[in-house]
Structure 1
Amino acid sequence: MALVGPSGAGKSTLLGLVNGSVPATAGSVQVLGADPTALRGRAQRQLRARVGTVHQHLELVGQLRVVHNVNAGRLSDWPAWRAAWSLVRPQGVPEVLAALERVGLADRVFERTERLSGGQRQRVALARLLVQQPELVLADEPASALDPVLAERALALLSRLAAERGGALIASLHDPALALRHCTRVVGLVEGRVVLDAPAAALTVGDLADFYGAPR
Protein backbone atom coordinates (compact mmCIF):
# COMPACT_ATOMS: atom_id res chain seq x y z
CA MET A 1 0.00 0.00 0.00
CA ALA A 2 1.26 3.47 -0.88
CA LEU A 3 0.61 6.39 1.45
CA VAL A 4 0.54 9.63 -0.51
CA GLY A 5 -0.15 13.24 0.34
CA PRO A 6 1.51 16.62 0.76
CA SER A 7 4.09 17.32 3.46
CA GLY A 8 2.43 17.51 6.86
CA ALA A 9 -0.52 15.36 5.81
CA GLY A 10 0.17 12.80 8.56
CA LYS A 11 1.90 10.00 6.66
CA SER A 12 4.84 9.65 9.07
CA THR A 13 2.50 9.94 12.06
CA LEU A 14 0.34 7.13 10.71
CA LEU A 15 3.37 4.88 10.28
CA GLY A 16 4.42 5.75 13.85
CA LEU A 17 0.99 4.72 15.11
CA VAL A 18 1.37 1.38 13.37
CA ASN A 19 4.83 0.58 14.75
CA GLY A 20 3.95 1.83 18.24
CA SER A 21 6.42 4.72 18.37
CA VAL A 22 3.56 7.26 18.39
CA PRO A 23 0.83 6.70 21.01
CA ALA A 24 -2.76 7.17 19.91
CA THR A 25 -4.55 10.04 21.66
CA ALA A 26 -7.96 8.68 20.64
CA GLY A 27 -9.31 5.44 19.27
CA SER A 28 -7.16 2.34 18.99
CA VAL A 29 -4.68 0.68 16.65
CA GLN A 30 -4.61 -2.99 15.73
CA VAL A 31 -1.37 -4.34 14.25
CA LEU A 32 -1.08 -8.05 13.43
CA GLY A 33 -3.94 -8.68 15.84
CA ALA A 34 -2.62 -6.61 18.75
CA ASP A 35 -2.57 -3.04 20.07
CA PRO A 36 1.15 -2.09 20.11
CA THR A 37 0.71 0.55 22.81
CA ALA A 38 -1.05 -1.88 25.17
CA LEU A 39 1.76 -4.46 25.19
CA ARG A 40 4.67 -4.57 27.59
CA GLY A 41 7.86 -6.57 28.04
CA ARG A 42 8.31 -9.71 25.98
CA ALA A 43 4.96 -9.40 24.17
CA GLN A 44 5.88 -5.90 23.02
CA ARG A 45 9.32 -7.04 21.82
CA GLN A 46 7.80 -9.95 19.94
CA LEU A 47 5.37 -7.69 18.10
CA ARG A 48 8.10 -5.17 17.27
CA ALA A 49 10.21 -7.97 15.83
CA ARG A 50 7.37 -8.70 13.40
CA VAL A 51 7.17 -5.08 12.23
CA GLY A 52 10.12 -3.58 10.38
CA THR A 53 10.50 0.14 9.69
CA VAL A 54 12.67 2.14 7.32
CA HIS A 55 12.56 5.55 9.00
CA GLN A 56 12.71 8.81 7.07
CA HIS A 57 15.82 9.79 9.05
CA LEU A 58 17.10 6.17 8.87
CA GLU A 59 17.93 5.84 12.62
CA LEU A 60 21.51 4.71 11.95
CA VAL A 61 24.50 5.26 14.26
CA GLY A 62 27.11 6.97 12.12
CA GLN A 63 30.07 6.14 14.38
CA LEU A 64 29.38 2.40 14.13
CA ARG A 65 30.45 0.21 11.25
CA VAL A 66 27.91 -0.90 8.67
CA VAL A 67 27.82 -4.45 10.06
CA HIS A 68 26.64 -3.17 13.45
CA ASN A 69 23.87 -1.03 11.97
CA VAL A 70 22.63 -3.94 9.88
CA ASN A 71 22.74 -6.28 12.88
CA ALA A 72 20.45 -3.86 14.73
CA GLY A 73 17.63 -5.52 12.81
CA ARG A 74 18.14 -8.65 14.93
CA LEU A 75 18.58 -7.15 18.38
CA SER A 76 15.07 -8.14 19.46
CA ASP A 77 16.02 -11.80 18.82
CA TRP A 78 19.34 -11.66 20.71
CA PRO A 79 19.98 -11.76 24.45
CA ALA A 80 21.64 -8.64 25.84
CA TRP A 81 25.02 -10.36 26.21
CA ARG A 82 25.13 -11.31 22.52
CA ALA A 83 24.15 -7.80 21.40
CA ALA A 84 26.92 -6.32 23.56
CA TRP A 85 29.51 -8.90 22.42
CA SER A 86 28.60 -8.21 18.77
CA LEU A 87 29.92 -4.67 19.18
CA VAL A 88 33.33 -6.20 19.98
CA ARG A 89 33.23 -9.14 17.58
CA PRO A 90 30.43 -8.81 14.98
CA GLN A 91 27.99 -11.70 14.97
CA GLY A 92 26.14 -13.17 11.99
CA VAL A 93 28.50 -11.68 9.41
CA PRO A 94 27.47 -14.11 6.61
CA GLU A 95 23.83 -13.04 6.96
CA VAL A 96 24.84 -9.37 7.03
CA LEU A 97 26.94 -9.85 3.89
CA ALA A 98 24.03 -11.55 2.12
CA ALA A 99 21.72 -8.63 2.96
CA LEU A 100 24.30 -6.07 1.86
CA GLU A 101 24.83 -8.00 -1.37
CA ARG A 102 21.13 -7.58 -2.16
CA VAL A 103 21.43 -3.80 -1.81
CA GLY A 104 24.81 -3.53 -3.56
CA LEU A 105 26.96 -2.71 -0.53
CA ALA A 106 28.73 -5.97 0.32
CA ASP A 107 32.12 -4.26 -0.03
CA ARG A 108 31.25 -1.75 2.75
CA VAL A 109 30.48 -4.20 5.56
CA PHE A 110 33.22 -2.95 7.92
CA GLU A 111 33.20 0.70 6.90
CA ARG A 112 32.09 3.39 9.34
CA THR A 113 28.52 4.31 8.43
CA GLU A 114 29.15 8.06 8.66
CA ARG A 115 31.54 7.82 5.70
CA LEU A 116 28.79 6.63 3.35
CA SER A 117 26.73 8.84 1.07
CA GLY A 118 23.07 9.51 1.82
CA GLY A 119 21.92 6.95 -0.73
CA GLN A 120 24.32 4.33 0.64
CA ARG A 121 23.07 4.91 4.19
CA GLN A 122 19.53 4.45 2.95
CA ARG A 123 20.56 1.07 1.52
CA VAL A 124 22.13 0.12 4.87
CA ALA A 125 18.71 0.75 6.43
CA LEU A 126 17.18 -1.58 3.83
CA ALA A 127 19.76 -4.27 4.64
CA ARG A 128 18.89 -3.94 8.34
CA LEU A 129 15.30 -4.71 7.41
CA LEU A 130 16.38 -7.74 5.36
CA VAL A 131 18.10 -9.41 8.32
CA GLN A 132 15.10 -8.67 10.53
CA GLN A 133 12.70 -10.41 8.10
CA PRO A 134 9.52 -8.73 9.37
CA GLU A 135 5.99 -9.70 8.42
CA LEU A 136 4.87 -6.08 8.11
CA VAL A 137 7.21 -3.62 6.38
CA LEU A 138 6.77 0.12 6.99
CA ALA A 139 8.79 2.50 4.83
CA ASP A 140 8.84 6.27 5.30
CA GLU A 141 10.13 7.80 2.06
CA PRO A 142 12.45 4.82 1.35
CA ALA A 143 13.57 6.21 -2.01
CA SER A 144 14.04 9.89 -1.11
CA ALA A 145 17.87 9.81 -1.26
CA LEU A 146 18.18 7.39 -4.15
CA ASP A 147 18.59 7.95 -7.87
CA PRO A 148 15.74 6.67 -10.13
CA VAL A 149 17.36 3.28 -10.82
CA LEU A 150 18.12 2.56 -7.15
CA ALA A 151 14.67 3.84 -6.14
CA GLU A 152 13.05 1.25 -8.41
CA ARG A 153 15.28 -1.48 -6.97
CA ALA A 154 14.55 -0.41 -3.40
CA LEU A 155 10.77 -0.54 -3.86
CA ALA A 156 10.99 -3.87 -5.66
CA LEU A 157 13.16 -5.22 -2.82
CA LEU A 158 10.73 -4.05 -0.14
CA SER A 159 7.80 -5.56 -2.03
CA ARG A 160 9.61 -8.90 -2.33
CA LEU A 161 10.57 -8.85 1.34
CA ALA A 162 6.94 -8.40 2.38
CA ALA A 163 5.81 -11.11 -0.04
CA GLU A 164 8.44 -13.59 1.19
CA ARG A 165 6.88 -13.54 4.67
CA GLY A 166 3.31 -13.47 3.36
CA GLY A 167 2.95 -10.01 4.86
CA ALA A 168 2.42 -6.48 3.64
CA LEU A 169 4.25 -3.29 2.73
CA ILE A 170 3.04 0.20 3.65
CA ALA A 171 5.23 2.86 2.04
CA SER A 172 5.00 6.63 2.25
CA LEU A 173 5.94 7.91 -1.19
CA HIS A 174 6.21 11.24 -2.99
CA ASP A 175 6.74 9.77 -6.46
CA PRO A 176 3.36 8.91 -8.07
CA ALA A 177 4.97 6.61 -10.65
CA LEU A 178 6.72 4.54 -7.95
CA ALA A 179 3.47 4.26 -6.01
CA LEU A 180 1.56 2.93 -9.01
CA ARG A 181 4.28 0.53 -10.18
CA HIS A 182 5.01 -1.13 -6.86
CA CYS A 183 1.78 -0.94 -4.84
CA THR A 184 -1.68 -2.41 -5.32
CA ARG A 185 -3.54 0.11 -3.16
CA VAL A 186 -3.15 3.86 -2.71
CA VAL A 187 -4.32 5.79 0.37
CA GLY A 188 -4.14 9.58 0.27
CA LEU A 189 -4.02 11.77 3.36
CA VAL A 190 -4.67 15.49 3.74
CA GLU A 191 -4.41 17.12 7.18
CA GLY A 192 -4.66 13.75 8.90
CA ARG A 193 -7.76 12.58 7.04
CA VAL A 194 -8.14 9.85 4.44
CA VAL A 195 -9.43 11.51 1.28
CA LEU A 196 -8.38 8.84 -1.22
CA ASP A 197 -8.48 5.05 -1.00
CA ALA A 198 -8.39 3.21 -4.30
CA PRO A 199 -6.76 0.31 -6.15
CA ALA A 200 -3.57 1.43 -7.88
CA ALA A 201 -4.89 -0.07 -11.11
CA ALA A 202 -7.76 2.44 -11.07
CA LEU A 203 -5.44 5.47 -10.88
CA THR A 204 -3.04 7.23 -13.21
CA VAL A 205 0.08 9.27 -12.58
CA GLY A 206 -2.00 12.29 -13.55
CA ASP A 207 -4.60 11.46 -10.88
CA LEU A 208 -1.92 11.46 -8.17
CA ALA A 209 -0.24 14.57 -9.58
CA ASP A 210 -3.62 16.32 -9.27
CA PHE A 211 -3.91 15.01 -5.73
CA TYR A 212 -0.52 16.50 -4.84
CA GLY A 213 -1.36 19.67 -6.68
CA ALA A 214 1.86 19.15 -8.61
CA PRO A 215 2.56 19.61 -12.34
CA ARG A 216 2.13 16.53 -14.45
Structure 2
Amino acid sequence: MRLTDLEVRFGATTALAGVDLTVAAGERVAVVGASGAGKSTLLGVLNGSVPPTAGSVRVLGADPAGLRGPALRRLRARTGTVHQHLELVGPLRVVHNVNAGRLGTWSAARALRSLVQPQGLDDVRTALDRVGLADRMFERTDRLSGGQRQRVALARLLVQRPELVLADEPASALDPALADQALELLAGLAADRGGALLACLHDPALALRHCDRVVGLTDGRVTLDAPASALTVAGLERFYGVVR
Protein backbone atom coordinates (compact mmCIF):
# COMPACT_ATOMS: atom_id res chain seq x y z
CA MET A 1 0.00 0.00 0.00
CA ARG A 2 1.13 3.53 -0.72
CA LEU A 3 -0.11 6.94 0.38
CA THR A 4 1.27 10.01 -1.38
CA ASP A 5 0.73 13.55 -0.09
CA LEU A 6 -2.49 12.40 1.58
CA GLU A 7 -4.78 15.00 3.08
CA VAL A 8 -8.08 14.52 4.89
CA ARG A 9 -10.19 17.44 6.08
CA PHE A 10 -13.47 17.45 7.99
CA GLY A 11 -14.81 20.93 7.43
CA ALA A 12 -12.27 23.35 8.88
CA THR A 13 -10.40 20.56 10.67
CA THR A 14 -7.41 18.92 9.01
CA ALA A 15 -7.10 15.32 10.24
CA LEU A 16 -4.21 14.26 7.98
CA ALA A 17 -1.83 16.46 6.01
CA GLY A 18 1.03 15.64 3.66
CA VAL A 19 1.18 11.96 4.63
CA ASP A 20 3.60 9.90 2.55
CA LEU A 21 3.68 6.27 3.61
CA THR A 22 4.56 3.00 1.91
CA VAL A 23 4.02 -0.39 3.56
CA ALA A 24 5.37 -3.50 1.88
CA ALA A 25 3.93 -7.00 2.01
CA GLY A 26 5.07 -8.79 5.14
CA GLU A 27 5.59 -5.66 7.24
CA ARG A 28 4.14 -5.29 10.73
CA VAL A 29 3.68 -1.58 11.41
CA ALA A 30 2.62 0.04 14.67
CA VAL A 31 0.93 3.42 14.29
CA VAL A 32 1.36 5.52 17.41
CA GLY A 33 0.38 8.99 18.56
CA ALA A 34 -1.84 10.86 20.96
CA SER A 35 -5.62 10.90 20.78
CA GLY A 36 -6.61 13.08 17.83
CA ALA A 37 -3.29 12.60 16.00
CA GLY A 38 -5.06 11.02 13.01
CA LYS A 39 -4.48 7.31 13.60
CA SER A 40 -8.09 6.16 13.17
CA THR A 41 -8.54 8.45 10.17
CA LEU A 42 -5.50 6.87 8.54
CA LEU A 43 -6.99 3.38 8.92
CA GLY A 44 -10.33 4.68 7.63
CA VAL A 45 -8.68 5.89 4.43
CA LEU A 46 -7.06 2.49 3.95
CA ASN A 47 -10.29 0.50 4.38
CA GLY A 48 -12.28 2.89 2.19
CA SER A 49 -14.57 4.29 4.87
CA VAL A 50 -12.94 7.75 4.88
CA PRO A 51 -12.49 9.49 1.50
CA PRO A 52 -9.29 11.50 1.06
CA THR A 53 -9.57 15.22 0.39
CA ALA A 54 -6.37 15.23 -1.66
CA GLY A 55 -3.46 12.98 -2.52
CA SER A 56 -3.06 9.45 -3.86
CA VAL A 57 -4.08 6.17 -2.19
CA ARG A 58 -3.24 2.66 -3.39
CA VAL A 59 -4.35 -0.33 -1.35
CA LEU A 60 -3.75 -3.84 -2.70
CA GLY A 61 -3.35 -2.30 -6.14
CA ALA A 62 -6.55 -0.22 -6.06
CA ASP A 63 -7.82 3.20 -5.00
CA PRO A 64 -10.63 2.55 -2.44
CA ALA A 65 -12.21 5.95 -3.03
CA GLY A 66 -12.58 5.18 -6.75
CA LEU A 67 -14.39 1.86 -6.30
CA ARG A 68 -18.11 1.17 -6.07
CA GLY A 69 -20.39 -1.86 -5.71
CA PRO A 70 -18.84 -5.32 -6.22
CA ALA A 71 -15.33 -3.94 -6.80
CA LEU A 72 -15.36 -2.14 -3.44
CA ARG A 73 -16.80 -5.22 -1.68
CA ARG A 74 -14.01 -7.37 -3.14
CA LEU A 75 -11.36 -4.97 -1.88
CA ARG A 76 -12.95 -4.83 1.57
CA ALA A 77 -13.07 -8.63 1.66
CA ARG A 78 -9.29 -8.56 1.19
CA THR A 79 -8.90 -5.87 3.86
CA GLY A 80 -9.79 -6.78 7.44
CA THR A 81 -10.38 -4.15 10.11
CA VAL A 82 -10.66 -4.41 13.88
CA HIS A 83 -12.41 -1.14 14.75
CA GLN A 84 -11.82 0.69 18.00
CA HIS A 85 -15.55 0.48 18.75
CA LEU A 86 -15.64 -3.13 17.42
CA GLU A 87 -18.83 -2.69 15.33
CA LEU A 88 -20.50 -5.80 16.69
CA VAL A 89 -24.28 -6.28 16.76
CA GLY A 90 -25.02 -6.79 20.45
CA PRO A 91 -28.36 -8.67 20.27
CA LEU A 92 -26.96 -11.18 17.76
CA ARG A 93 -25.27 -14.36 18.92
CA VAL A 94 -21.49 -14.57 18.78
CA VAL A 95 -21.59 -16.97 15.82
CA HIS A 96 -23.37 -14.38 13.66
CA ASN A 97 -20.93 -11.62 14.54
CA VAL A 98 -17.99 -13.87 13.69
CA ASN A 99 -19.59 -14.91 10.40
CA ALA A 100 -19.91 -11.23 9.48
CA GLY A 101 -16.25 -11.49 8.51
CA ARG A 102 -17.32 -13.54 5.48
CA LEU A 103 -20.13 -11.33 4.20
CA GLY A 104 -17.85 -9.90 1.52
CA THR A 105 -17.55 -13.35 -0.07
CA TRP A 106 -21.06 -14.72 0.57
CA SER A 107 -24.11 -14.12 -1.56
CA ALA A 108 -26.97 -12.17 0.00
CA ALA A 109 -29.04 -15.36 0.04
CA ARG A 110 -26.41 -17.29 1.98
CA ALA A 111 -25.92 -14.42 4.44
CA LEU A 112 -29.68 -14.31 5.16
CA ARG A 113 -29.85 -18.11 5.44
CA SER A 114 -27.01 -18.05 7.93
CA LEU A 115 -29.01 -15.82 10.28
CA VAL A 116 -31.53 -18.66 10.60
CA GLN A 117 -29.16 -21.61 10.32
CA PRO A 118 -25.56 -20.49 10.94
CA GLN A 119 -23.13 -21.51 8.22
CA GLY A 120 -19.49 -22.55 8.48
CA LEU A 121 -19.69 -23.63 12.12
CA ASP A 122 -16.40 -25.53 12.04
CA ASP A 123 -14.48 -22.41 10.95
CA VAL A 124 -16.28 -20.26 13.52
CA ARG A 125 -15.56 -22.75 16.29
CA THR A 126 -11.87 -22.90 15.30
CA ALA A 127 -11.59 -19.10 15.29
CA LEU A 128 -13.31 -18.77 18.66
CA ASP A 129 -11.12 -21.49 20.11
CA ARG A 130 -8.03 -19.52 19.07
CA VAL A 131 -9.27 -16.52 21.06
CA GLY A 132 -10.49 -18.59 24.01
CA LEU A 133 -14.23 -18.24 23.43
CA ALA A 134 -15.28 -21.56 21.88
CA ASP A 135 -17.85 -22.08 24.66
CA ARG A 136 -19.57 -18.75 23.91
CA MET A 137 -20.46 -19.38 20.26
CA PHE A 138 -24.24 -19.24 20.76
CA GLU A 139 -24.33 -16.59 23.49
CA ARG A 140 -25.71 -13.12 22.85
CA THR A 141 -22.78 -10.83 22.15
CA ASP A 142 -24.06 -8.03 24.39
CA ARG A 143 -23.84 -10.36 27.40
CA LEU A 144 -20.05 -10.63 27.07
CA SER A 145 -17.48 -8.46 28.82
CA GLY A 146 -15.61 -5.75 26.94
CA GLY A 147 -12.52 -7.93 26.62
CA GLN A 148 -14.59 -10.87 25.37
CA ARG A 149 -16.28 -8.69 22.73
CA GLN A 150 -12.86 -7.55 21.60
CA ARG A 151 -11.90 -11.20 21.12
CA VAL A 152 -15.09 -11.80 19.11
CA ALA A 153 -13.93 -9.02 16.76
CA LEU A 154 -10.58 -10.81 16.42
CA ALA A 155 -12.36 -14.09 15.63
CA ARG A 156 -14.38 -12.30 12.94
CA LEU A 157 -11.11 -11.30 11.31
CA LEU A 158 -9.75 -14.85 11.56
CA VAL A 159 -12.62 -16.28 9.49
CA GLN A 160 -12.30 -13.43 6.98
CA ARG A 161 -8.59 -14.20 6.36
CA PRO A 162 -7.73 -10.81 4.82
CA GLU A 163 -4.49 -9.90 3.05
CA LEU A 164 -4.20 -6.50 4.74
CA VAL A 165 -4.98 -6.33 8.47
CA LEU A 166 -5.91 -2.96 10.00
CA ALA A 167 -6.35 -2.89 13.76
CA ASP A 168 -7.42 0.15 15.79
CA GLU A 169 -6.38 -0.42 19.43
CA PRO A 170 -7.03 -4.20 19.17
CA ALA A 171 -5.80 -4.91 22.70
CA SER A 172 -7.15 -1.94 24.66
CA ALA A 173 -9.59 -4.02 26.76
CA LEU A 174 -7.32 -7.05 27.18
CA ASP A 175 -4.98 -8.02 29.99
CA PRO A 176 -1.25 -8.17 29.08
CA ALA A 177 -1.19 -11.90 28.26
CA LEU A 178 -4.26 -11.69 26.03
CA ALA A 179 -2.92 -8.49 24.43
CA ASP A 180 0.22 -10.34 23.37
CA GLN A 181 -1.90 -13.22 22.08
CA ALA A 182 -4.08 -10.82 20.07
CA LEU A 183 -1.09 -9.18 18.39
CA GLU A 184 0.45 -12.57 17.63
CA LEU A 185 -2.81 -13.67 16.00
CA LEU A 186 -3.06 -10.52 13.89
CA ALA A 187 0.58 -10.69 12.78
CA GLY A 188 0.20 -14.37 11.96
CA LEU A 189 -3.00 -13.74 10.01
CA ALA A 190 -1.30 -11.14 7.83
CA ALA A 191 1.70 -13.42 7.32
CA ASP A 192 -0.54 -16.33 6.27
CA ARG A 193 -1.76 -14.35 3.26
CA GLY A 194 1.59 -12.69 2.51
CA GLY A 195 0.10 -9.37 3.56
CA ALA A 196 0.80 -6.59 6.03
CA LEU A 197 -0.39 -5.50 9.47
CA LEU A 198 -1.02 -1.91 10.53
CA ALA A 199 -2.01 -1.60 14.18
CA CYS A 200 -2.78 1.59 16.09
CA LEU A 201 -1.38 0.93 19.56
CA HIS A 202 -1.25 2.98 22.72
CA ASP A 203 1.19 0.66 24.52
CA PRO A 204 4.82 1.31 23.44
CA ALA A 205 6.07 -2.02 24.80
CA LEU A 206 3.39 -3.92 22.87
CA ALA A 207 4.30 -2.06 19.69
CA LEU A 208 7.99 -2.87 20.01
CA ARG A 209 7.39 -6.53 20.85
CA HIS A 210 5.14 -7.30 17.91
CA CYS A 211 5.95 -4.85 15.12
CA ASP A 212 9.08 -4.36 13.05
CA ARG A 213 8.38 -0.70 12.22
CA VAL A 214 6.84 2.22 14.07
CA VAL A 215 5.10 5.17 12.40
CA GLY A 216 4.21 8.10 14.65
CA LEU A 217 1.63 10.80 13.91
CA THR A 218 1.56 14.30 15.37
CA ASP A 219 -1.38 16.54 14.45
CA GLY A 220 -2.04 14.54 11.30
CA ARG A 221 1.54 14.43 10.06
CA VAL A 222 4.11 11.64 10.08
CA THR A 223 6.80 12.73 12.54
CA LEU A 224 8.33 9.33 13.25
CA ASP A 225 9.10 6.42 10.94
CA ALA A 226 11.74 4.02 12.21
CA PRO A 227 12.54 0.34 12.65
CA ALA A 228 11.32 -0.97 15.99
CA SER A 229 14.84 -2.25 16.63
CA ALA A 230 16.09 1.35 16.66
CA LEU A 231 13.58 2.48 19.31
CA THR A 232 13.10 1.97 23.03
CA VAL A 233 10.05 1.98 25.25
CA ALA A 234 11.39 5.08 27.00
CA GLY A 235 11.91 6.81 23.67
CA LEU A 236 8.36 6.09 22.55
CA GLU A 237 7.04 7.27 25.88
CA ARG A 238 8.89 10.54 25.31
CA PHE A 239 7.28 10.74 21.86
CA TYR A 240 3.86 10.37 23.42
CA GLY A 241 4.84 13.02 25.94
CA VAL A 242 5.74 15.45 23.19
CA VAL A 243 2.42 15.10 21.34
CA ARG A 244 0.05 15.05 24.27
Shorter-chain TM-score tier: over 0.9
Question: Aligned with 2:54: secondary structure?
Answer: coil
Q: Residue 107 of structure 2: which of 70, 79, 84 is its match?
A: 79
Q: TM-score, normalised by structure 2?
A: 0.87
Tell me, which stretches of 5 or more residues in structure 1 are unaligned?
A: none
Matches within 5 A, 1:58-97: 58-97=86-125
Q: Give, as a single letter, the amino acid of the residue that structure 2 aligns with 1:53.
A: T
Partner of 2:11: none
Q: Give, as a single letter, the amino acid of the residue that structure 2 aligns with 1:115.
A: R
- Which residue in the other structure is 1:186 paired with? 214
Aligned-residue offset at 1:29: 1.0
How large is the RMSD of aligned CA atoms in angstroms?
Answer: 0.7
Could you list the per-position Cα deviations for residues 55-92 of structure 1 after superposition, in whole angstroms to 9, with x for gaps in the alignment?
00000000000000000000011110110011111011
- Are 1:115 and 2:143 an aligned pair? yes
TM-score (norm 1): 0.98
Indicate the residue corresponding to 1:136 in structure 2: 164
Aligned pairs (5 A) from 1:24-103? 24-103=52-131
1:201 equivalent to 2:229? Answer yes
Amino acid aligned to 1:205: V
Letter in 2 for 1:169: L
Deviations 1:130-189 (A, max 9, x none): 000000000000000001110010011111111111101000000000000000000000
Shift of 1:42: 1.5
- Aligned residue identity for 1:140: D
| Aligned partner letter, 2:81 | T
Distance 1:12 1:40 in 2: 22
2:132 equivalent in structure 1: 104
Paired residues, what number? 214
- The residue number in structure 1 matching 2:10 is none
Q: Compare the two structures and name the one with the higher strand fraction.
A: 2
Stretches (4+) displaced over 6 A: none
* Partner amino acid, structure 1, of 2:77: A
Aligned counterparts of 2:133 and 2:208: Cα–Cα separation in 1: 27
Deviation at 1:28, TM superposition (A): 2.1
Identity between Structure 1 and Structure 2 (%)? 77
Q: For structure 2, list consecutive stretches of 5 or more residues without a partner in the other structure.
A: 1-28
